[in-house]
A and B are shown apart, each in its own frame.
Chain A
Amino acid sequence: MENQDAWRITDRLQAEHGKGDPFAAAVRATRMPMIITDPRLPDNPITFANDAFLHMSGYAREEVTGHNCRFLQGPDTAPEDVARIREAIESRHDVSIDLLNYRKDGSTFWNALYISPVVNEEGELQFFFASQMDVTERKLTEMRVLEDKDRFERAVEARTRELKEANRQLKSALETKTTLLHEVDHRVKNNMQIIASLISMQMRGTTDEIMKASMQTTLGRVEAMSTVHRRFYQSGDVARFDISAFVRDLVSDLIAASGRGDIAVRLDLTPIAVPAEKAAPLALMVNEVITNALKHGFAGGRGGTLRVVSARDGALCRITVADDGHGMPAARKGPATYGKRLVERLGRQLQAEIGWHGAAPGTRVEISLPIEQRGRGA
């Protein structure tokens, strides 16, 4: 009872402007809300509350003194927080907790509450001392940060879902495109085969040797186009066309078709990938020159060597077709045949330079063209 009396005395002393116990005066005057409760009285009532506490809670001193401080709780105060406090008080431990409290006017504030038991020298519980602090600002900021984080995470999740969906659609569109490309490729190849078959069957039924030879030339041109299409998707790159692989196939087919065992072939081929749009004209041109060498250079049972070279020369592609056969007859220097006109026209389309040289023996044709298409104005 001595201590309780002491506090009463300090209470009275307040009127004397903090004279007496300097510690008591400090507790009275501090801006930190503080209360003292007496667990030895029924329901552990408040026996002292400083001005800061009254200011924070909005109650008058006589409204709080003698009451248990649960009047600070309200409907939204977390029951588990209250339970923690009760437990600490029952087991005489200190406790630190952020608690939602209510002022007299019903407004709420976050209270950083710290309660600790006060015992005397004999170890008997005397009081509970509780300090409070209005931490509403900090608490709201924390909650806002949490909310922002939550909102941000939800936004990231939503965006990730959108991106995944977009990726799936893109993948499916790409698959559709690839399927279509394969389908078109398949049809083109099949149709090229049908066109060549129609010509070859017509040719088979023709008895006129001149007409037959003419149709053979046409079939050769169509088959050159077929070889282009067969080669097209074998490389895996649909935008480029390797002219050397085409030449290898073409020469091997033409020699096989000629049935000539007396013509040796020398190929010196550097792979050169030209843009896809050059494939058909270049193939037709090379077919024309090589067919010509076989037909005229090695005519009349004259054997020899056919040499084909593909080489890269800076931005240029050089193709050489040389035979050691008969050489260009005077007649072939006269009015250009359809075959030669075709080569010259294709040469213009490809911006190629074509040189026909007598090679003594034989003929050498040199084709030189830019690998990439040059602007027409350049």
Chain B
Amino acid sequence: ITGEANSLEFLKDRLIYKGNVILHRDSSTLKADEVVILLDKENKPYKLIAKGNVKFRENGRKAEAEFAEYDLRKEIIHLKGNAKIEENGRVVEADEIIIYKREKRLVAKGKGKRVRTVYVEEKK
């Protein structure tokens, strides 16, 4: 993971990036107002917690939300608050969206409002 931000706070078990945060990991990019990186006992990152204007890009997939948690070990991304995903012309909007990257599976949950999905038909 490489990162840029206006400032960073380094505590014993975490790093808190603040202000125009941009993190890159392989082909994915995470942008947010604030990102907390949780460190394990060997000071290796195992989870990212992003807050505020969260934007996630990866191989043509675009995701947005107010809040996101990325489990780096299980490769699971949990989007919360006006979550939206766009991929290959298909759009999913819900209160919560969970992306299981390894299984290539996505679960959308609507709490206050219903899940909304938009498919774009291919021209014949």
**Are A and B associated in one complex?**
no
